[in-house]
Amino acid sequence: MSAAIEVMRHHRSIRKFTEQALNDEQREAIMASAQAASSSSFLQASTVIRVTDPELRARVMALCGNQAYIGSAAEFWVFCADFHRHLQWVPEAKTGFAEQLLIGAIDTALMGQNALTAAESLGLGGVFIGAVRNQPHELCDLLALPKGVIPLFGLCLGYPDQNPEPKPRLPTSLIFCDNRYPAQFDEERMQRYDEQVQQYYRTRTGGNKNMSWTGQIGETLAKEARPFMLEFLHRQGFCLR
């Protein structure tokens, strides 16, 4: 097994960090690794905002549900899909298509995953923050994001101050298919996975959480998440056609 595969297979989200800062060499290596990710049509439709000002970080944290690790991590970066930059150099470029939202989101997600994997290979840890989309209008104003730019997720990075177990993933046979989508799923295997997740949560929380994976789906998808998102995308110039 290669070292890269070992790093990726042992990923855990880290939410407790020491006070140790990253050095310039580490940070530059992570940035370079992020930029090395694949880019659709070489559009490079991403921008990353590194939030270093403590007061600004605190205000961003407040918009993200006051998740304490946003403030305590050595680094906090906001990953954005960005077509504003393209219009600065090529004003006649046509933007606003739904496909461009997918391109920007995919390119930026690939960059984020590269960044986290690179950080983990250096002995660091991190966690992605989807809550940057909780109050996107306010976050855009706070970070001065112009039309054509949308925040997709944040990333906390730093030296881990905890050692959680990796969260169990779905069985490979339920994710990877040969040639066609399966007509039906393996119910027995799904039930075993539900039990595995339930045991993971019980162990991780000292018995305070007793939730299966399908139970978690039921809770998460019981209502529409962030119903304001389409209006926000339109305001920022995305999904107009």
Same domain for 66 and 150, yes or no, is yes
User: Mean pLDDT throughout 154-174?
Assistant: 95
Same domain for 114 and 199, yes or no, is no
pLDDT of residue 204: 87
pLDDT of residue 57: 98
User: Mean pLDDT throughout 12-28?
Assistant: 98
User: What residues contact 59, with CB distance under 8 A and at least 6 apart?
Assistant: 142
Same domain for 141 and 177, yes or no, is no
Same domain for 122 and 149, yes or no, is yes
**Total structural domains within the chain:** 2
Residue 21 confidence (pLDDT) above 90: yes
User: Mean pLDDT throughout 80-98?
Assistant: 97
Give dist(CA 228, CA 52) in Å, integer. 28
Contact of 73 with 126, CB cutoff 8 Å: yes
Same domain for 176 and 69, yes or no, is no
For 7, the domain range is 3-165+225-235
Name the residue with tokens 């690794």. 33
Kindly report, residue by residue over 114-153, the tens digit of the pLDDT.
999 999 999 999 999 999 999 999 999 999 999 999 999 9
CATH of residue 84: 3.40.109.10
pLDDT of residue 206: 86
Rounded to two decimals, the pTM is: 0.95
Same domain for 154 and 39, yes or no, is yes
Is 216 among the domain residues? no
Is 241 among the domain residues? no
User: Mean pLDDT throughout 17-42?
Assistant: 98
Same domain for 202 and 150, yes or no, is no
pLDDT band, residue 41 (cuts 50/70/90) = very high
User: Mean pLDDT throughout 54-66?
Assistant: 98
Kindly report, residue by residue over 168-219, the tens digit of the pLDDT.
999 999 999 999 999 998 999 999 999 999 999 998 888 889 999 999 999 9
Percent over 90 (pLDDT), the chain: 95
Same domain for 115 and 200, yes or no, is no
Kindly report, residue by residue over 78-88, the tens digit of the pLDDT.
999 999 999 99
Same domain for 67 and 141, yes or no, is yes
Same domain for 197 and 90, yes or no, is no
Residue 51 confidence (pLDDT) above 90: yes
Helices (H), the chain: 3-9, 24-35, 54-63, 68-72, 84-89, 98-121, 136-143, 172-175, 187-204, 213-220, 229-235
Give dist(CA 46, CA 106) in Å, integer. 10
Same domain for 139 and 177, yes or no, is no
Kindly report, residue by residue over 220-238, the tens digit of the pLDDT.
999 889 999 999 999 999 9
99-113 burial, b for 16+ CB within 10 Å, e for fewer?
A: ebbebbbbbbbbbbb
Report the amino acid identity of residue 203.
T
Same domain for 132 and 179, yes or no, is no
Is 218 among the domain residues? no
